[in-house]
Structure 1
Amino acid sequence: MKNYTRQTSILLALTIAFACKQQPAKQETVQTKQDSIIMVSDDFVFGDNRPFPQCHASTLVRADDGTFLVAWFGGTHEKHDDVGIWLSKGKPGRWSVPIEVAKLREEPHWNPVLQKTSAGSIILYFKVGKLIDVWETWYIVSGDNGATWSQAKELVPGDKGGRGPVRNKVLVLSNGTWLAPASNELKGVWNAFVDRSENEVKTWQATPYLTLNRDSVPGEGIIQPTLWESAPGKVHMLLRSSAGVICRSDSEDYGKTWSPVYKTNLPNPNSGIDLTRLDDGKLVLIFNRDGKNWGARRPVSMAISDDNGKTWPVVKDIEVGEEGDEFSYPAIIHFHDTVALTYTWKRQRIAFKMARIE
């Protein structure tokens, strides 16, 4: 196997016809123009001198002052009782020392998700529980760009298994509704749904589980959606799956009901994905592209679609590494024509990168 260094950043300007198999109507594979992905920043949020042996599942948001907040879970290792939620603030090359901002009790904490509201406050959601089956969803709020945080509150008191955003960011729709991409992993069976809030976190209503043909998607199922709205009321999601590819579902009614899940041709090894929709409508996806279920979590790659996810003709490997390396659980946001992204780097660091999309 050919080895690559961490600095490898080769633009694969191949017209890869990742044509999604839309249902029920057949959709054409459209050749789109070759967009450019120009890397403008390559950094780590912290170095080897860190107060936890392992870290994973990062999230990021851009504060009103132009700095970035990055959060992740860290501790001895995933699922260990000492794992808490950590956070750093800054810009490339100038990051604050990581601090633990959430540790409710001596049980594992998981999957933080940052969200900036229209009023400028920042919400940090996270999970608590020894097992995914009994996850609780909690959140804290900052009104000063992450300098201080409120006391933690449970998102849906008494609900087990996970409510609200399970890993990826909340989507605020054109009508003001908040959609949280959610999923459950109960007794090894994975199902996805959406949590809807029409009053900005005060109450949440879960949709039914998405309809999934488990003959088409063998194994555990689908989890960890990432959402976008293409036009008022028209909402879409891509999902991590156990089928060796990314799956998709669509809504015509602001996320109240969803189409049956269908497979795309985007490969994925049953690892985290995330997506952002630029101001001009382009979709930018960050993902691992090994096509084997539970395959390699490398390389971590970026893909661009300008036809609402029908085709993904531009793919760029952000980091390739060597056999056995892990670059996983990416998160991505955008501002203007620039994307900022983070991902787990060998479970030892959180990588932070920025790219301009031309």
Structure 2
Amino acid sequence: MQKDLLMNKLPTAFCHASTVCVLRDGGVLCCWFGGTHEGEADVAIYGSRYSHGRWSEPAKLADGAEANWNPVLFYRNDGVLQLFYKEGQQIASWRTLVMLSDDDGRTWSTPAELVQWDASGGRGPVRNKPVRLASGRVLAGASTEHGIWQAFADISDDDGVTWRKSAPVVIAGLEYAAGERTADSDIAVSQQSFYGRGVIQPSLWQSADKSVHMLLRSSEGHVYRSDSKDEGVTWCAAYPLEMPNNNSGLDLVRTDDGAIYLVCNPVAANWGMRSPLTLFKSTDEGATWQKLLDLETEPGEFSYPAIIAHDGVIYITYTHNRQNIACVRIPIVNI
């Protein structure tokens, strides 16, 4: 296992919520958001490129008039790299912007709203990378935070040009009183995050039988799951797994051999500690999970992981105490 910290000097007061992709030239691009404090108007999207054995100095990629959040990188089939991100002071009403690059992230187009006619609350990927199904359909894991949090899949059959929403994914019978604060925590998130209850931020995969599945962050102490038999159009009610969840981000990737690798904080408390950060593996389409290794175990915040697989290597990036972004590379043969 090789672990890098991307920055010698953080250009902002904090950093958080990384995304990662392997570029066509063999390099690696990582993006995140940072500023004075999560949710402030000066929070922008930054990126760093790994090439020739080193990470470049962070560069500001997007800086809107309002707070920016949750970048997501994803290649279209035509080789155009997309950078999705959120903009807005309020999570409940933020909107999704997208920039395009035809030179592997060296230059970017002007930001444009992903779905102009239904922007409020966010469309497209809310935090984790989309998945391209065997049919060519692209599904992006999305969610909204209006009291009762709920998830959905945003569906594109033209490689990300247009999108339509799936049926919602909710925890059946969940109750929430408007304006109720559901937790207190020392984690340095925007205070608005402590209002609301449910499931958000899906991570998706397609199984061998062509059904589609999502694992979800929840406020209920467990990772939740939902399944679809029609390529993401409709979903069953979200149901809990034995895997703990601390109401923080998770991500997964399914490799060519059918194994699924999940990285998360296995802590069973709403807004609980964001350590340890642990890698798990499933060889039965997520029915059971085997712990492989802890990436971090010391007290601190090691959170919001992003995971991809490329050419026999697992890449994981994550928030490292909000003062750096870590990138771990693990050959699959070693795990």
TM-score, normalising length: structure 1: 0.85
Q: How far apart, CA to CA, are the structure 1 residues paired with 2:324 and 2:288?
A: 32
2:232 maps to which residue?
Answer: 255
Classify the secondary structure of the residue corresponding to 1:231: coil
Alignment of 1:6-85 (within 5 A): 39=1, 41-47=2-8, 49-85=9-45
How far apart are 1:338 and its partner, in Å?
1.4
Cα 1:232–1:308 shift into 2, 3 Å:
closer
Cα 1:268–1:91 shift into 2, 3 Å:
farther
1:309 maps to which residue?
Answer: 286
How far apart are 1:172 and its partner, in Å?
0.7
Q: Which amino acid aligns with 1:67?
A: G
CA contact (8 A) 1:175 1:232 kept: no
Q: How far apart, CA to CA, are the structure 1 residues paired with 2:290 and 2:19?
A: 26
2:95 is aligned with 1:136: yes
2:198 is aligned with 1:237: no
Q: Could you tell me the percent identity over the aligned residues?
A: 45
2:313 maps to which residue?
Answer: 338
Q: Which amino acid aligns with 2:73?
A: L
Higher relative contact order (CA 8 A, sep 6+): 1
2:304 is aligned with 1:329: yes
Tell me which of 241, 262, 276 is aligned to 1:264.
241
* Aligned Cα root-mean-square deviation (Å): 1.6
CA contact (8 A) 1:46 1:95 kept: yes
Classify the secondary structure of the residue corresponding to 2:72: strand
CA deviation profile, 1:26-71 (whole Å, cap 9, x unmatched): xxxxxxxxxxxxx2x1101112x22211000000000011100100
CA contact (8 A) 2:170 2:199 kept: no
CA deviation profile, 1:81-134 (whole Å, cap 9, x unmatched): 1000001111485011111111122x1000000002222221000000010011
CA contact (8 A) 1:214 1:221 kept: no
Structure showing greater Rg: 1
1:287 maps to which residue?
Answer: 264
TM-score, normalising length: structure 2: 0.90
CA contact (8 A) 1:302 1:318 kept: yes
Q: How far apart, CA to CA, are the structure 1 residues paired with 2:104 and 2:48?
A: 11
CA contact (8 A) 2:317 2:327 kept: yes
How far apart are 1:77 and its partner, in Å?
1.2
Q: Which amino acid aligns with 2:162?
A: T
Instruction: Give structure 1 regions of 4+ aligned residues with deviation exceeding 3 angstroms.
Output: 214-219
1:190 maps to which residue?
Answer: 149
2:189 maps to which residue?
Answer: none
Cα 1:232–1:150 shift into 2, 3 Å:
farther
| Structure 2, unpaired ranges of 5+ | 177-181, 183-195
Cα 1:80–1:354 shift into 2, 3 Å:
same
Q: Which moved more, 1:151-160 or 1:280-289?
A: 151-160
Q: How far apart, CA to CA, are the structure 2 residues paired with 1:282 and 1:259?
A: 23
1:350 maps to which residue?
Answer: 325
Q: Which amino acid aligns with 2:129?
A: K
2:167 maps to which residue?
Answer: 208
Q: How far apart, CA to CA, are the structure 1 residues paired with 2:327 and 2:229?
A: 35
| Structure 1, unpaired ranges of 5+ | 1-38
CA contact (8 A) 2:67 2:89 kept: yes
How far apart are 1:202 and its partner, in Å?
1.7
1:150 maps to which residue?
Answer: 109
Q: Which amino acid aligns with 1:181?
A: G
